[in-house]
Chains A and B, each alone.
Chain A
Amino acid sequence: QVQLQESGPGLVKPSGTLSLTCAVSGGSISSSNWWSWVRQSPGKGLEWIGEIYHTGSTNYNPSLVSRVTISIDKSKNQFSLKVNSVTAADTAVYYCARSFNGWLISWGQGTLVTVSS
Chain B
Amino acid sequence: QSVLTQPPSVSGAPGQRVTISCTGSSSNIGAGYDVHWYQQLPGTAPKLLIYRNVNRPSGVPDRFSGSKSGTSASLAITGLQAEDEADYYCQSYDNSLSVVFGGGTKLTVL
A62 contacts B46, CB within 8 Å? no
Secondary structure at the A interface, as helix, strand, loop or mixed, is strand
Nearest chain A CB to B38 CB, angstrom units? 7
Chain A residues within 8 Å of chain B by Cβ, number: 22
B38 contacts A48, CB within 8 Å? no
A106 contacts B98, CB within 8 Å? no
**Size bracket, chain B contacts:** 20 to 34
Instruction: Return the chain B residue nearest A108 by Cβ.
Output: B45
Q: Does residue A88 face the partner (Cβ distance < 8 Å to B)? A: no
Given contacts A59-B97, A61-B98, contact A102 B45 (CB under 8 A): no
Cα A77 to Cα B14 with chains together (Å): 44
Contacts of A75 in B (CB 8 A): none
Nearest chain A CB to B69 CB, angstrom units? 19
Contacts of A107 in B (CB 8 A): 45-47
A103 contacts B96, CB within 8 Å? no
Contacts of A47 in B (CB 8 A): 101
Contacts of A104 in B (CB 8 A): 36, 38, 46, 48, 91
- Interface, chain A (partner B; CB < 8 A): 36, 38, 45-48, 51, 59, 61-63, 95, 101-110
- Interface, chain B (partner A; CB < 8 A): 2, 33-34, 36, 38, 44-48, 51-52, 57, 89, 91, 93, 96-104
